[in-house]
Structure 1
C-alpha cells in the first residue's frame, strides 16, 4: 500500500487567458500520508480552496499532476472522475448540502444509491452510532440543529469507506462548542479507523486538531507545522502573505 493518500506534483492553476491569468496555485508539490489529519491554511486568496479542488479532482490543474493513492487524476474524463469521487473520496463543506426531503438515513446512503452500490446495513448503523445520530435516522434536516446536520454530512462522507475525506471550512457555520464536537469527530476518523482527512480552514483552533498544517501564501506552500497548537498557528498566520 502506498504511503501517501494525496499527492500534488508541481501543480499550477491559472484562471483567465491572454496573459492576464490569475495564478491560484504556483508550482505546488505536496504529499499527504495515509491515516493523517492535515489542515491547509492561508490568507484569503492564497489558493486554499483551489488546492483542495485540484487534490480532490473537482478542478483540473493547468500543469502538474494530482494523485489519489496510485491513481493520477489528470487524463481521467469527467465520468471517470465522478466514479472516483463517489467511491474513494468523501466531502464535508461549510454548507451541509443535505437534501431536505430525505431522512438522515437516506441522505447518508445517497452516495451509495448514486453509485448503484450495495448498502451494508451494519456499516450504516455503525456510522450513525459513531456520529451520534442513531436516534435521528428518520428525521429530516429541518428537524436537526446545524451541528447535527454537519454530522449527517460526515456520515455521508464515510459511508463509501473513502480513501480521503476533504473538508472545506467544515466548522465555519457552527458555534464554538459544536465546532469542537465536529473536529473531535473528524479526529476520531483518523485515530480510530485510519481515514485520511484534509481540511481547509481559517481557524487556528480547528487547525490544532490536525497532525500537520500546510501554509499557503500567493499560491505557494510557504511553511508547514507539525503537532500544531492554536497559539502557534495563530502566531504564524500573522506573518503570511497579505497578512504580513
Structure 2
C-alpha cells in the first residue's frame, strides 16, 4: 500500500451542484438534484440512502463513470467533468481505484496479473515487487499465481482491493463491496479499507445499504430523492440503522402525498 503523497490537493473529492437527469420528455428522472460535497484526503465516507435515492448515480458521477447533466466534479483538485471520453478514461486510470460488488477480476489472469492490470492499462511499468507487497498486506502473498476461480469470494474481493491500491489513486470508489460476501469475509474487507485510509492516507468512498458496513467509515452521507439528507460522523451500526429508518419513512410519506 502506498504512503502519503505530499502533492495532493486539500480536497480528494468535490462535487459542486451536481445533477443527473435520465430520460427526456414528460417524465424525466432526476437521480441527483443539486448535490454538493467536499471530502478531505485520507477519509473513509459511506454513502447511504433508501432504494432509488441516487447512491449509485452519485458514485458513477463522482468517479467519472457517468457525466452529470449539470455541475462539476473535482478529484484531487483536477476537474473530472467536461472532457472527452478518452481523456476521462485516462484520468480514471491514473487517479481512481474501483472496487465492485462482483469483484470484476479477469478469470484467465493470475492474482498478480489482475492486480498489475491497471498499471499496464495506464501505460506504466508494472512494479511486481510493490504489487506483491500489497498482496501480502491483504493476506494473499501465497496466492499470487492462483486464478480467481481458485479463490473464495472474500479472497477475490481482497484481490480487487489490492488492484485498486496499486496505482496509489487519489480516491477509491467501492460500490457495495461486501454485498456478495458472508459476514466474516465482509469484516475482513471493511477492515482492509479502513486500514488503507488510516495507515496509508487513501481516500475511500463506499456505497452501501448495510449499517454495519457503514460503521467502519469515518462518516456517512445520506441521500434521499437525489438530494443530501444529512450526515453522521463516527457512525455506529445502530445510529445508521435508526437514521435510515427515518429516511425511509420520510420518503414513503413524500410519495404518499405526491411530493
Q: TM-score per shorter chain, which class?
A: over 0.9
- 2:169 aligns with 162
> For the residues of structure 2 that align with 1:122 and 1:114, how far apart are their CA atoms?
18
Deviation, structure 1 residue 243: 5.6
> For the residues of structure 2 that align with 1:101 and 1:213, how far apart are their CA atoms?
37
* Structure 1: tracts of 5 or more residues without a match: none
Say whether 1:46 aligns with 2:84: no
Helix, strand or coil for the counterpart of 1:223? strand
Normalising to structure 2: TM-score of the pair?
A: 0.92
CA offsets 1:185-220 (integer angstroms, 9 cap, x no match): 000000111000000000000000000100000000
CA offsets 1:103-128 (integer angstroms, 9 cap, x no match): 00011111111112012222112101
> For the residues of structure 1 that align with 2:196 and 2:26, how far apart are their CA atoms?
44
Instruction: Provide the aligned C-alpha RMSD in A.
Output: 1.0
Say whether 1:32 aligns with 2:43: no
- 2:159 aligns with 152
* Structure 2: tracts of 5 or more residues without a match: 1-7, 254-259
Say whether 1:92 aligns with 2:102: no
- 2:13 aligns with 6
> For the residues of structure 2 that align with 1:99 and 1:243, how far apart are their CA atoms?
41
Q: 1:164, 1:196 within 8 Å by CA — same for their partners in 2?
A: yes
> For the residues of structure 1 that align with 2:129 and 2:150, how far apart are their CA atoms?
25
- Kindly tell me the number of residue pairs found equivalent between the two proteins: 244
CA offsets 1:140-197 (integer angstroms, 9 cap, x no match): 0110000000001111101111010000000000000110000000000001110000
- 2:87 aligns with 80
Query: Which residue of 204, 216, 219 maps to 1:197?
Result: 204
> For the residues of structure 2 that align with 1:19 and 1:64, how far apart are their CA atoms?
23
